[in-house]
Structure 1
Amino acid sequence: MKAAGRLDDLREAYVRKHPESCARHERAQAWMPGGNTRSVLHFDPFPLVIASGRADMLTDVDGYEYIDCAGEFSAGLYGHSDPVIVAALHEVLDNGLVLSGPNTAESELAELLCQRFPSLERLRFCNSGTEANLFALLTAINATGRKRVLVFEDAYHGGVLTFAGGGSPMNVPFDFVTAPFNDIESTRASVKRHEDDLAAILVEPLLGAAGNIPAEAAFLAMLREEATRCGAVLIFDEVKTSRLGRAGLQGHYGVMPDMTTLGKYLGAGLSFGAFGGSKALMDRFDPRLPGALKHAGTFNNNIMSMRGGLAGLRSSFTPDAADAFLQRTEAFRATVNARLSQAGLNVCLSGIGSILSLHIGAQPPMKVAQIHPQTMLLRQLVHLKCLERGLLLTPRGDIFLSLPMNEARLGEIAEILVSAVIQESPALAI
């Protein structure tokens, strides 16, 4: 009851401080169920309503400012006002929207992405990471003539591909089988059991929604070996993790998938998705060939996302910049974990680089089964305490760092976060 009472106190203080967000949330309920159109943004008693953003800061409708470590769940890599991206988008506005044909940016962006990620020989654009994963799975099903898809417990590959708690009633009706993440023997046995029907193995190299658990190198190597052996298509969902170094986690681990899916920040704050892989797989979409697979989508090549994405990769997130950002944010994680340990707290940050989560335990979990049962309660307490101090985390406790954050800002974030954990952990028996 101690933790529950503390959570109630923090929520009451939050309500008193945010009357305009509360009023807007209540009005929104007349038109949207629960006043919400994106489930992950809801938290009790009501979510913040954001008025504006600049660099790495947000301002809510009650006038409070926050360092933005929610980071649009990794889509906000560039912050809110990268000048090169803003200039590129203004140029688009001056030259017209919905251009009704191939535009001047799409092939250039495709070329950059194929040069950047080793598994991409050809790619196609779509509108979100969810779409990218759907199209990648359908590509694998068509290429193999099989129907079954192996995914991992507690994985999230989009709003219709979510596998926490045994899956979602909103999932697409593919023939899924699940295996435990980072469990080599159990997963290998599952592949062998289903190999005659297995079209694809879909995996996040960093299990995101479960709490940013990194894959073990040996686990990914086993997936590559088993997919090759049985003829299944190995798909890396790098919708988030492509920001972790110049070539994403496939580059970090040195494991080459057959296909890669992309999204989030690569649209520079606009809707974006892409899926790609080997020429042999992707040429099935070549409209010049008889029997080509159809891949439609009015906004697949929308000029705003194409120009914004191109500007971001060319100017702000070059390969060298990506490597430097990974190094800087890995140092941040190490600093926070050292300070938590020095304070005698049984809490740590998991993740890689700029994608992080709080966990109860001296060491980050490597399997979902190792997550402490009170971890989510700790994150709820810390989320509300950090809001009081002007730091916005995601409601579920994920932390996403962005390019505008310099060393001084990272130090400020570390101080607020560690202080919040120190203040709130006594409410829990950890």
Structure 2
Amino acid sequence: MNVSLDAALAEAESRYTAANPASLARHEAARSAMPGGNTRTVLHYSPFPLAWSKGEGATLTDLDGHSYTDYLGEYSAGLYGHSNPKIQAALKRAIDDGTVLGGPNVYEAELAGLLKSRFPSLQALRFCNSGTEANVFALMTAQAHTGRKKVMVFDGGYHGGVLYFGHGGIPINLPLDWVIAPYNDVEGTLGLIRQHGAELAAILIEPMLGSGGCLPARQDFLGALRQAASELDIILIFDEVMTSRLSSGGLQAALGVTPDMTTLGKYLGGGSSFGAFGGRADIMGHYDPEKPGYWPHAGTFNNNVLSMAAGLTGLRDIYTPEAAMSLNAKGDRLRDGLNALGEKHGVPFTATGVGSFIGIHFTQDVMDRPVHDSAEEEARQSKIHKLMHLDFIAAGLFFARRGYMALSLALTDRDIDRFVAQTDEFITSRKPLLAA
């Protein structure tokens, strides 16, 4: 089984295929209507993805009846787990009172006020439908407010389906005038800001790279961006679609660096679609329809009653500052436990992240910037990630194939210990392949 990495992976895929015939049949049927049987690329993995029939608490059940402990948390959108009774009650109440109302509802103003009170940069905000939308609106707002066109983003960044900057970007990215800077590189980034500063409308950054490997930004790096943006009248935008859950006021509050604008999404809809963008009052004031020359901001589902009801209940009644601290402590304990295993076994294995976000890497020295290995080394690491993913599925533990986890409130201390123990077993059994 451990003769070679390719042989181990082939055996694991064969075992997986034999164990999941219903998911395979669903995948084959879906291919007749959707390219690759898929409508959300991140959910696809070889040889085919598991299809879920049910979620309850921190447990997922697939079409073949297998149960898994969920450490992925719907890529951070599933903060509350799959069946939180308070969220379910809020959604049922909203459905009973009627949806698609076509006017302001009883939830949105209170939710907006709560967000404003928590996030230092949000003097005013507006809702939309996703984190992607939030970032697009924030960028268009910055361009219109400054009269400039260039936008600085960072290598390895992800800001939505048309704003992806890992591995050179994607063909369907918005055709804006991008300046791509090196993440966590103060001097390299400041050099680009000096070069392009008079033309830069915005600097858009995740204070922790999410899909780029859960790599946190250094405080001095964010501070340098804040100072440069202020000096050159550039709009500094923090994409906190993911990281807003890392303290009661997001990473901006935890790190003490306040951007001009912030974008939000994912868990803040309580499991329903959600996005928001906001910031300084002078910037957001352009959207006031009671003022002459205001900018229209359309979106049929901007104040979707289900998103507003679940979002308000989640933020007000469940994800208190104390709950955030407790969940982040679990994440820190898991990350520390995983890193101890790398040292224990003497293999290239690192867990990164902040609080409830964890990224697993089969390499070292990953903290300062996105990893850029040779094509051969990237292919080897990709195979190890596949093998770990399939081995953990066989053991009833689920997370993203790339090694990404976003813990939910439904996970217990026992679940944290179980993941560490399973990782220990994986490294022990696969050690000859990991050290190659």
TM range (shorter): over 0.9
Match runs of 1:328-343 below 5 Å = 328-343=330-345
CA separation in 2, counterparts of 1:254 and 1:312? 25
Q: Which runs of 5+ in 1 are unaligned?
A: none
Alignment-derived partner of residue 113 in structure 2:
111
**Shift in CA distance, 385/248, structure 1 to aligned 2, threshold 3 Å:** same
Alpha-carbon shift at residue 208 of structure 1 (Å): 1.1
CA separation in 1, counterparts of 2:399 and 2:353? 15
Alpha-carbon shift at residue 407 of structure 1 (Å): 1.1
Secondary structure of 1:59 counterpart: strand
1:327-366: CA deviations, max 9, x gaps? 2321221122223322333212111111111112355432
Alpha-carbon shift at residue 7 of structure 1 (Å): 1.4
| Residue among 414, 423, 428 paired with 1:422 | 428
| Residue among 19, 22, 44 paired with 2:21 | 19
Return 391-400 or 138-147, whichever deviates more.
391-400
| Residue among 387, 390, 400 paired with 1:381 | 387
Match runs of 1:25-424 below 5 Å = 25-362=27-364, 364-369=366-371, 373=378, 374-424=380-430
**Is this contact kept in 2: 1:206–1:212, CA < 8 A?**
yes
CA separation in 1, counterparts of 2:307 and 2:148? 34
1:126-170: CA deviations, max 9, x gaps? 000000000000110011000000000111100000011211111
CA separation in 1, counterparts of 2:274 and 2:45? 26
Secondary structure of 1:236 counterpart: strand
CA separation in 2, counterparts of 1:18 and 1:422? 26
Secondary structure of 1:275 counterpart: strand
Matching residue's letter, 2:73: G
CA separation in 1, counterparts of 2:244 and 2:141? 21
RMSD, matched Cα:
1.4
Q: Which runs of 5+ in 2 are unaligned?
A: none
Matching residue's letter, 1:302: N
**Shift in CA distance, 425/241, structure 1 to aligned 2, threshold 3 Å:** farther
Alpha-carbon shift at residue 291 of structure 1 (Å): 1.3
TM-score computed with the length of structure 1 as normaliser? 0.97
**Is this contact kept in 2: 1:89–1:308, CA < 8 A?**
yes
CA separation in 2, counterparts of 1:370 and 1:334? 24
CA separation in 2, counterparts of 1:19 and 1:327? 38
